[in-house]
């Protein structure tokens, strides 16, 4: 393996760095985007119980903000509940935009790796071909050993670039889909909270899962959707 790596030339080093970075980002995002961490079950019901009992103190508000991304939205909405429904929804939307940015942390880097890795592989291929032609010019086409180094460098870097880019692209797409799903869940839970604070024809949190409406959790519009 070490022999193959060294045969690929200096392009293998940035490709190795890209592979390590992609793996690290994927593991970190898998851990950070767990549903139990982002949208904990029964959190809205718990918060509503605190509100009805008058137990949602400033200390609990701080704990709620630090508890989870959903907790941050609920705390942002309740903090301005005395100013009316529209203000609550607007505050939740603003908190949602910040939350989405945090959820998409490192995703641009992962997408860049998915795009750059095959280009680095192509660069290695070109450099290998140039090396091969220089060797042929110096010793002639009759010396296979002189040409083998350039051919090996070209093939190895191409394979390494694809080896890094394919899983990075898959993970980038999958993680973005995961973020979209979590955002939809947070919107649904935040909407239950809004309708509980300003009831119309909706049941309280925990009484039904069919509450509708949209609290307007903001999406980070960066052209990647």
Residue 225's pLDDT is 42
Tokens of 171: 């993970």
User: Number of folded domains in the chain?
Assistant: 1
Q: Is residue 134 part of a domain?
A: yes
Q: Is residue 209 part of a domain?
A: no
Residue 145's pLDDT is 62
Q: What is the CB-side half-sphere exposure of residue 40 using CA atoms within 13 A?
A: 18
Q: Residues near 167 by Cβ (< 8 Å), separated by ≥ 6?
A: 22
Q: Is residue 176 part of a domain?
A: yes
Q: Is residue 142 part of a domain?
A: yes
CA dihedral 12, 15, 16, 18 (to 10 degrees): 170
Measured in residues, the chain has a length of: 225
Residue 136's pLDDT is 65
How far apart are alpha carbons 181 and 185 in whole angstroms?
A: 6
Residue 130's pLDDT is 83
Q: Is residue 185 part of a domain?
A: yes
Where do the H-state alpha helices sit in the chain?
2-7, 12-32, 35-38, 43-53, 58-67, 69-79, 85-103, 107-139, 144-197
Residues of the chain with pLDDT under 70: 1, 4, 135-150, 200-225
How far apart are alpha carbons 60 and 66 in whole angstroms?
A: 10
Q: Is residue 20 part of a domain?
A: yes
Closest CA to 193 of 96, 101, 58, 97: 96
Residue pair 186/69 in contact (Cβ under 8 Å)? The answer is yes
Which tens digits make up the pLDDT trace of 162-214?
A: 999 999 999 999 999 999 999 999 999 998 888 888 886 445 455 444 433 45
Residue 205's pLDDT is 54
Q: Is residue 143 part of a domain?
A: yes
Q: Is residue 203 part of a domain?
A: no
Domain ranges, residue 133? 2-197
């Amino acid at each position: 393996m070490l022999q193959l790596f060294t045969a690929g030339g200096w392009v293998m080093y940035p490709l190795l760095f890209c592979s390590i970075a992609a793996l690290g980002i994927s593991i970190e995002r898998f851990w950070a985007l767990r549903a139990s961490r982002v949208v904990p079950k029964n959190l809205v019901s718990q918060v509503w119980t605190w509100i009805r009992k008058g137990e949602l103190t400033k200390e609990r508000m701080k704990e709620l903000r630090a508890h989870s991304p959903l907790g941050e939205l609920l705390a942002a909405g309740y903090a301005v509940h005395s100013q009316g429904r529209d203000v609550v929804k607007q505050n939740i939307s603003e908190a949602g935009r910040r939350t989405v940015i945090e959820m998409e942390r490192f995703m641009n880097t992962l997408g860049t790796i998915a795009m750059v890795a095959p280009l680095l592989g192509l660069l290695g291929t070109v450099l290998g071909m140039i090396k091969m032609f220089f060797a042929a010019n110096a010793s002639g086409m009759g010396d296979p050993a002189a040409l083998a180094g350039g051919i090996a460098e070209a093939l190895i870097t191409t394979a390494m670039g694809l080896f890094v880019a394919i899983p990075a692209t898959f993970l980038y797409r999958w993680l973005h889909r995961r973020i979209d799903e979590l955002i939809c869940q947070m919107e649904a839970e935040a909407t239950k909270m809004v309708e509980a604070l300003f009831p119309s024809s909706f049941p309280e949190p925990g009484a039904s899962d069919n509450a509708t409406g949209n609290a307007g959790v903001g999406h980070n519009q960066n052209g990647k959707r």
